[in-house]
Structure formats: C-alpha cells, structure tokens
Structure 1
Amino acid sequence: MKKWAFVSDFDGTISKKDFYWLVIETYYPEGKGLYKKWKAGEMQDIDFLSHVFQSIDQHEEQIIQDILSLPIDEHVPSFIKKVQENGGDFYILSAGTDYYIHHILKHYGIQNVPVFSNKGYYENKNVHLSIDESHKHYSRRYGIDKSKVISDLKEKYEVVYFAGDSEPDSHPANVADLTFAKDVLQELLKENNVPFVAVESFQQIEDFLHEKGTI
C-alpha cells in the first residue's frame, strides 16, 4: 500500500474561477438564466455543463486561449512538486471536463498528475462531453461520482487528502481522511458535521501539511 495521496477539485479550487462562468460571461449571457434553473434543482449538473460548453461557438485556438486565461492559485505548481517530492501522489478530481484541465496542466508544465473527470473533446466550434454510463465512477447527476473515486484511492493509499470548494465536493469529503475546504464547501460540511480544515489557498494547505511533518 502506498503512503499518501492528495486529491484536488479543479474549478474554484485550483482555478480561481469556474470554466463555465468564463464561458457564460464571454459567449453565453443566456447561461445566467440556465444557472438559476440548475441551482433551483431543475437541471442535473452534467446537463447544465454540457449545455454551456456547447454554447461557445469559437474555433479551438480561441477556446484554448480562453482556457489559458483562467487564473489559478499561483502556489499550485510548486505545491504539486512538494507533494511528489515527499512520497505523495497528486490527483485532480473534477466534475467539469478533462479537456480544459489538460490544457492548463500542460501550460504550467505540471507532470505526472492523473485526472479523474468527464472526458471532453472539441468538435464543431464547441466542447462536448463523452459520458460513459457503464464506467464504474459514473454518476447521473455529475457525470463522475467523486466519492467512488476517493473510495477506490483509499484502497491504494494509507491516507487520502482532499481539497474542494463547492457542493459536488461535499460527497467525497465524507470519504477522504481529511478535507481542506474553501468557500461554500465550508458551510456545507459544517451543516453535515463533517470535519474539515478551512483554507483559502494552497499555501495554507502546504503550511498545514508542513506542520504535520507530511511535507
């Protein structure tokens, strides 16, 4: 069994902005109404995202340029290296799509980071999701069941840390050994009596793990 792994959500946790908001603000203002319907529980998460990602209508060069304009937590690349140098494996776990995540990782020179996410591809000026309903991590609501991924990783590692910021992250937080929570995830975990460490940045996560002697 391996010693430890650090698993992080992407949108709003590694990135400072969700990719779907960038798309809505730049190309699809009608998406604000769709966002309200989704938040009111009238749409599944994966249906909302699929609709937004198929409303970009731009050539791939432009979409990639937009992806690379997403601001990320500046400390993430060095934090990932620290994890890897100290015997840990780093994973990204996202209910968005691996399409934009891989572009970001490449852009920042981040290597050896497996991505668990919904498969995405460019076609006809938009980003499409390819959801495999027979996959063991499949979720009707999110496309990917984050808690199942964490459960699988817990069979390989002695300790699994998790970082997230929003509602989809409340489920894997129940399974991880320790969760670092940003933004609304803090309130959700409080309400459900799930223990967590409140953070605003990866620098704070690193400081915590440094104090524990993990890195």
Structure 2
Amino acid sequence: MNIKVFCDFDGTITKNDVGDLFFETFGDRNYYSSLVVKWRDYEISSKEMWEKIAEKVKVDYVEAEKLILSQEIDIYFIDFVKWARENEIEVFILSDGFDFYIKRILDKYGLFDVKFFSNKLWIEDRKVKVDFPYPDSVCRICGNCKRNHMLTLSGDDDIIVYIGDGYSDRCPAEYADVVFGKKELLKYCRAKNIPVYEFETFKDVMEQFERFLSGRKRLRKRWQAELKRREVFMRE
C-alpha cells in the first residue's frame, strides 16, 4: 500500500493564514475582505482576487520578510514529516498562496527539502508582483490547481490523503481517499457528506495514521473520489 500525503500550507501548517496577514498588513484590509468573500462564493477566481489585491499593496522588502519570519508553524508538522519519511510516505505541500513566504518559513524550521507547489510572488520597488504557473485549463477557480498536482503525483494504486483547513481545500478534498480537516474544510466535508477526520494539530494526524498502519483502522480508497479522478482523465 503506497500512501501520498498532500497538505495545505496557510492555517494548516502555519498557525496563522500568512497570506491573509501579509495582504491585510500591507494592503487595503477592507478591499481584501470584500474580494475574499467573492472568491469564497465562486464569483471570481483566486487568480483574479490575488491580482486585484496585489495592486493595493505597498511594502518594503525588509518589512515583508520581518513579518513572514515572525510566523510560527504547528510544531508537530516537523515530527510528522520525519515520521512520514521513516514510513516511506511522501509529503507534498499544495498552496494557493505564495512561494515568497512559504519558502522562507519552511527554511526557518529546517524543512528545506519538503516539496511545495504554489503561486509566485516577488517585490519590485515596493510593489507586489504575482504569477500563477499551475492553473487548470478548464477550471479557473484556483490560481494553483491542487487537484491536478494530486493526480499528477499519484499512481492508480496510491492512497491519496489530503490535509487542509480552508476554502481552497474544498476541491482537492473531493478527489482524496482520506481527508483530514479543520475549520472551513471540516464544515464543507460534513455538509457534502465527505468522510473527514477532524484534527487540531499534526499530532492528531500522526495518531490516526498509526491506527491505519497498525491495522486498527482500515485504510482504503474512497469510491466517490476514485470516480471523480476517473472523470478527470476521461475528459482529457
């Protein structure tokens, strides 16, 4: 049994949503909040949201880095990565946020070699520039299509696990065999009858995985998720 773990970053690995904090601190907080609501309700794509929000940001590079490096992660995530490697389980980070802060935070905690896929952000003359290298050609809701990464990086026999907390995690949760959720993702899964394990920290995730690997809890593919994955490949 081969397991692939895909994990959100903001609010899942980090204690705060760093993207929210960055744009609210250096941009227009009210404008940001209004666009997030439109994105949440599928009125605009996250790409459109981020591009509009970025236009309102003025920030010094040093100030930005200081804010980012002050952010903390769930300390159990470090243990989880180590545990996963010891058990030959691959872990990937999928984020609809930005590499500018993800890389710095991972480096801060010595997690240099955890592979992540995200949108791109850089600062030029106090202005924020953004780019989206991983869109989906059909679905334009997310700037970084987490579902496509999951399907590309997984084989037919793999058990796909997704861990998340927010609105950008709604789509990939539909395609995962096992879902760990909190906050908005937990609500979404329960509303959509998607089986979900509630968690607060990665200690909870590790404890549940131990039940899987010891045989106390059966780990298997989810039929509805398999059907949705097949539909994607049939469309292509």
Question: TM-score range with shorter-chain normalisation?
Answer: 0.7 to 0.9
Question: 1:171-186 to 2 correspondence within 5 Å?
Answer: 171-186=171-186
Pair 1:83-2:84 in alignment: yes
Q: Deviations over 1:61-118 (max 9, x none)?
A: 2111111222321211121111112211111000111221111111110032111111
Corresponding residue for residue 10 of structure 1: 9
Q: Tell me the CA shift for residue 205 of structure 1.
A: 0.2
Q: Structure 1: where are the runs of 5+ without partners? A: none
Corresponding residue for residue 148 of structure 1: 148
Q: Distance in 1 between matches of 2:93 and 2:5?
A: 9
Q: Tell me the CA shift for residue 54 of structure 1.
A: 4.4
Corresponding residue for residue 211 of structure 2: 211
**Which range moved further: 41-50 or 168-177?**
41-50
Q: Structure 2: where are the runs of 5+ without partners? A: 215-236
Corresponding residue for residue 103 of structure 2: 102
Q: Deviations over 1:20-77 (max 9, x none)?
A: 3213442333333443444454432222223334433222121111112223212111
Given that residues 60 and 125 in structure 1 are in contact (C-alpha distance below 8 angstroms), is that contact kept between their aligned partners in structure 2?
yes
Opposite residue 192 of structure 1, the aligned amino acid is: K
Structure 2 vs 1, CA of residues 169 and 40 (structure 1 numbering), >3 Å: closer, same or farther? closer
Structure 2 vs 1, CA of residues 127 and 154 (structure 1 numbering), >3 Å: closer, same or farther? same
Number of aligned residues: 211
Q: Distance in 2 between matches of 1:61 and 1:154?
A: 39
Give the helix-richer structure, 1 or 2: 2
Pair 1:20-2:16 in alignment: no
Q: Distance in 1 between matches of 2:158 and 2:34?
A: 44
Q: Distance in 2 between matches of 1:59 and 1:36?
A: 27
TM-score normalised by length of structure 2: 0.79
Q: Distance in 2 between matches of 1:70 and 1:50?
A: 24
**Which range moved further: 10-19 or 151-160?**
151-160
Structure 2 vs 1, CA of residues 171 and 39 (structure 1 numbering), >3 Å: closer, same or farther? closer
User: SS at the partner of 2:120?
Assistant: strand
Opposite residue 14 of structure 1, the aligned amino acid is: I
Q: Tell me the CA shift for residue 203 of structure 1.
A: 0.9
Q: Distance in 1 between matches of 2:124 and 2:157?
A: 38
Given that residues 5 and 157 in structure 1 are in contact (C-alpha distance below 8 angstroms), is that contact kept between their aligned partners in structure 2?
no
Opposite residue 48 of structure 2, the aligned amino acid is: D
Q: Distance in 2 between matches of 1:55 and 1:67?
A: 19
User: SS at the partner of 1:213?
Assistant: helix
**Which range moved further: 63-72 or 135-144?**
135-144
Given that residues 14 and 76 in structure 1 are in contact (C-alpha distance below 8 angstroms), is that contact kept between their aligned partners in structure 2?
yes
Opposite residue 142 of structure 2, the aligned amino acid is: Y
User: SS at the partner of 2:93?
Assistant: strand
Opposite residue 32 of structure 1, the aligned amino acid is: S
**Which range moved further: 14-23 or 4-13?**
14-23
Q: Distance in 2 between matches of 1:23 and 1:41?
A: 23
Q: Distance in 1 between matches of 2:26 and 2:45?
A: 22
Corresponding residue for residue 189 of structure 2: 189
Q: Deviations over 1:154-184 (max 9, x none)?
A: 2276222110112221211122221101111
Question: 1:103-118 to 2 correspondence within 5 Å?
Answer: 103-118=104-119
Structure 2 vs 1, CA of residues 207 and 72 (structure 1 numbering), >3 Å: closer, same or farther? same
Structure 2 vs 1, CA of residues 157 and 52 (structure 1 numbering), >3 Å: closer, same or farther? farther
Pair 1:123-2:112 in alignment: no
